[in-house]
Amino acid sequence: MSDARTPAQIEADIVRRRGQLAETLDEIGARVHPKTIVGDAKAKLASTVDQTAGRAYVTVNRTITQVRAQFVAEDGAPRLERLVPVALVTVGLVGLLAMSARRRRA
């Protein structure tokens, strides 16, 4: 098989390939440029932080909903059988802490 291309076709092919090579080298240069690398790292970090914050929000929201369900009935009424003991324990602990603080001062 012989190459039936004319010199003008060969020259046009060389010019086209040089252009493609120049574009490829420019793209590689942009990818390995320090600003590009730092920008990519920042974007990845921001994405990770957003995902982590989103997961934390969902977890906190779920926990609050579960705790609220323990103390408030579905109709919105407080569950006194659960609230009263928790309130008494809280008041008792605050009282103990206050007495302990007074004894330390004296």
pTM of the model: 0.48
CB contact set of 5 (below 8 Å; sequence gap of 6+): 13
Over the chain (106 residues), what is each successive 10-residue block's mean pLDDT? 82 96 94 92 95 96 94 91 94 94 84
Domain ranges of the chain: 7-71, 78-106
Name the 3-class secondary structure at 72. Answer: strand
Name the 3-class secondary structure at 78. Answer: strand
Say what the pLDDT of residue 93 is: 96
* Amino acid, single-letter form, for residue 76: G
* 24's tokens: 């490829």
